[in-house]
Structure formats: C-alpha cells, structure tokens
Structure 1
C-alpha cells in the first residue's frame, strides 16, 4: 500500500536506507540533498516493497505544484525492483492538491501509461569506468584526441581545491549566462548543495587556474560507485586551453577501475551531446513528465 508522508513524518534515516537498497539509487534522492534543494519535500512510500518517491513541491498563487529542483537531474520512484506499472501506481497516489506537475523521472522508468500525463524524453550520457583508462580512451573520437594533445598545457594549471563560491561565480558568468539561467536563487542553492557535498566528502571541485584566475572548473560527485559530472564552467581562456577536454580526461584517469560509471548528465543540446559522445559516452533516456489539472483560467496560462 502506497502511503503519503508529509515532510514532518519522514524518517530521514529510514529513507536513506531504502534508497541504498534500491536498484536504481541516485545521489539526487538522498534526504539531505532534498532538504537543501526542496525544503519541505514530501514523500510517497510503499513499506512492503521498499519503493519510495520524493514529492518536491512549491507554492505559487496559493496553489501547490510538483517541480524539479534546480540541479537535481532525475528523481521519480526508487525501488529494490522496478516492475511494470510501479511508477503509474505512485503517480496515482500523488495527493490531489498538486494540480500541476513538471518533474523528471529516472532512467529505470521506461514509460508512463497515464492518459492525462504528457511525457517527453531527455538524454543522459555515461561512460563505463569498470576498465582501464587506456581502454576507455581508445573509444575517444579523433577530434577529442587532437584537442587533448592541445590541452596538455592545461595540466600545469590544474587545481583540485576550488571553493564552491568561486566555482558558482564562474558558472554564473559563463555556463549560466550562455544557457540563460543565472537566477540568484538557483545559484545560491547550487552553492549550498556543493558546499555541503564537499563537507560530507561526496563532492569535489577541480579546475584550471592560471595567473591566480580560475578559468575552468567542474564539480564532481562521487557516490555509490557513480561519478557525476554535476556542473561545469569555462570562460574564453579556459576554452582556449581546451580545459574541459583535460578535466574530463583527468577524471577518467583518476577514477577508472575505481568507480563503475561516470555520469556526464547528458543534454538535449546537440552540441553538448556531441561533446560527451566524443569521450565514448553512451546515451540513455529518462522522462520529463507534465500534468495540468489546474482550474480555468490558470490551466490555460500554465502549459
């Protein structure tokens, strides 16, 4: 039986233990991550099967709705076994007060059969790390190998202790600006997540610093055999140094045969997807889900 839990009724220790027992566990669904990214989050749980689903919500115009917190790529149902119809059963159990949904599920959920729900696909990209680094590098594209030769100079500027605040400042004026997202609330939230992750030993921020100026950086999350390329940023000098080529290759060299998967997070942007594919990354699909049962006229304005 699926049970709805308000935030105050969630046993965070129990939640995290259930997540670890899940076949599709992901860093994004840890209780501390959810606490920072979506304070007051609620949950659906099935104690018999061990399946759980976070409900990340906020309020606008007096109405509560489900949304995907900034930086949390995938959520949805997590369970020891993903069986047909499981996600639908959980979606049917979402409290009726949430009249609008705009959420992302995880790659273990292949389809959702609900007539009142609109689904579109998103791309994730991963590199298998369970083999020697040179074997992984053998799958690099010709252009990437050429750029890595040019990136050798970046090695002399490598730093492994970039401050979260410094990283977010670089991200805001580069990647954030390019993709049109410099929302101050998002930037603060990302900094809090990274800082807490560093404190817990789950995150590290590496970069390229030349003449005391940070030109490129990436936040890596290491959790349960999975290395997530969480966020990355590079200015014009970093691009000239081919810094991102170097940083990804450096991470592969450091974690090959130590972790299972390097999750590049992927993108529906063809340029980003092409860049990731050049490292031999394989694509998988996760679902973007929308549902709108708002009353008129709100229903017409919120697509």
Structure 2
C-alpha cells in the first residue's frame, strides 16, 4: 500500500470528511471542522484516494516539530472505510515523517498494534449502550449512583435541555473545574466555545443544565452526537452542584431521554480514579485505546523527554 504525506494545504477536505463519515471506525474528532479548531494547520497521511487516513496533529517548540494529542480530542489515529488490521496501523505509524522528532498521540479503540511499541500505554474509556430501557439500564447502576440520584431529586433541582448560553457554560467551566475536566490552559477556552457553538448551530449537540431553587446554574454538561455515539464532552459543577449531586441527576436524566435508541453514550475516560468511579457507577464498560510514544529527538534533548 502507498501511504502519502500531505501538508494541510494539499488535503482534499471533502474527500477527507467523506472518509471519516463512512469509516468503519469513524468518530467526531477526525472531522476536518473539529481538527481545524483543536489543531490548526494539521497535516495527514492518506492511502488509496482517501480510503484510509490519519491526521497528524503537529506543533513546534524551540524549532522542533512534534506530534501531540490536541486538547478535547480523545482518540484519533487511523480511520478507514475498510476494517483496519494491525498491519495497516503499523504501516501508517511507520509512515509518519521523520521530521516530527517526538510523537505522543492517541490511536482509537479499533487501532490495534502488534507488537505494542515500547513506551506505549493503555487508556480507559467508559461507554454505555443506550439500546435498553431506562429501567434495564438503572439495574446496572451501582448502589452509590442510585443513592446520589435520589439525593439530587430531594434537593429541589431542575434540569433544562439547552437551558444556558454557551458563554454561561464556558464560564461555569472556567470558575468550577468539574468532575469531567482536568486543568486547561486558559487560551483553550476559546476552542471550547468554538466547538460548542459549531455543534449547536449544526444541531449536533446539546447542553443540559441544572438549576437550584433560586434559579442559579449549579451544573451543566455538553453532549455531542456523531457515528451513532453521543460524547459527554464537557461538564462542570459548582460546589453547591457537587454537594447536591447535580451531575448524577443530569446524567441519569440524559440516559432516560435517550434510552431505547441505537446510541452509545461515551464518557470519554478516565485514567483518574475519581472520574472513572463516577462513570462506572452508571453500568458502563471499559473500552481501552492506546497512546503511542516515539522519541526521535537528538542527543542530549532525547534524555530530557522520556
């Protein structure tokens, strides 16, 4: 197979998005509009007239080009309209240009590598199949999750779909780094705003908001739909929201709304014990994906980046 490297300006975005849409393993993060927001000027590897593709999300530091996983894009890697074999994935990884001196990127859960490269690590992602009735789904909740949902209902909370503005939601994240978020560089908040605005305008997403009895916003989450999957992409709670277990209520109501539909609810992680316990409380299953690392830095820089 002939794999071609394309700088950004030579990528046929229409063919690219068509491949992502029709890919056996396509996902939201690989669409050109999304990549343009999270990794401006991204490049690509392409095979057989966009039958199989791989985005190269690059940056530069001290004059050195490298590949890194962009914020808000959990899984990228190789996408194809045909089933990707370990051999194909290996060939794409090997085809990454040598000009990228350091690589640390996430593949997607369908990208298997044999053997697994040294320095790679497995990551946890929790998913829930919503095809079942809400009653069937709640049977798989942990006792702790059920108890917290009941507590939330007793606190007089109200849930409103698309009940807050994009700016109010982004400010909620800024001021209250919630159970879903890790520390975010301040310049990345504009990307959050762009993603949500595009998705709402394109009818690809929705914000679920929780208010207290004083009509104050105490929790919110943004969900985005693609490839028969809905991703719990951004979320945050105030201290009051955490105390009143607002996010447990929000998630349960979202599950109820979309139960008995051909959808997978993707919680997007996590390797961190606290969030992972929260996601597992809703009866999710763990779907692993791989982070690959390659250090091509010249000596002595190679010693400082393990």
The 1:154/1:165 distance shift into structure 2, 3 A limit, reads farther
Aligned to 2:55: 54
The 1:52/1:255 distance shift into structure 2, 3 A limit, reads same
Deviations 1:259-290 (A, max 9, x none): 32100112011121111111100001101111
How much has 1:44 moved relative to structure 2? 0.5
SS at match of 1:118: coil
Deviations 1:167-208 (A, max 9, x none): 222112222699661311222212211111111111211111
Unaligned runs of 5+ in 2: none
Matched, 1:270 2:261: no
Aligned to 1:203: 205
How much has 1:77 moved relative to structure 2? 0.4
TM-score (normalised: structure 1):
0.94
Distance in 2 of aligned mates of 1:49 and 1:84: 19
**Greater shift in the superposed pair: 164-173 or 178-187:** 178-187
Matched, 1:141 2:142: yes
Aligned to 1:183: 185
Unaligned runs of 5+ in 1: none
RMSD: 1.9
Distance in 2 of aligned mates of 1:193 and 1:13: 20
Distance in 1 of aligned mates of 2:34 and 2:184: 21
The 1:206/1:176 distance shift into structure 2, 3 A limit, reads closer
SS at match of 1:85: helix
Distance in 2 of aligned mates of 1:253 and 1:155: 19
How much has 1:13 moved relative to structure 2? 1.2
**Counterparts of 1:20-59 in structure 2 under 5 Å?**
20-47=21-48, 50-59=51-60
TM-score (normalised: structure 2):
0.93
Distance in 2 of aligned mates of 1:151 and 1:31: 39
Matched, 1:102 2:104: yes
**Greater shift in the superposed pair: 52-61 or 137-146:** 137-146
Q: Across the two proteins, how many residue pairs are aligned to each other?
A: 302
**Greater shift in the superposed pair: 286-295 or 43-52:** 43-52
Deviations 1:100-155 (A, max 9, x none): 0111111112335375x520011000001112121111111112111111121467
How much has 1:49 moved relative to structure 2? 7.8
How much has 1:74 moved relative to structure 2? 0.4
SS at match of 1:24: coil
Match of 2:95 among 93, 96, 101: 93
Q: Is the 8 A contact 2:221 2:235 kept in 1?
A: yes
Distance in 2 of aligned mates of 1:179 and 1:130: 27
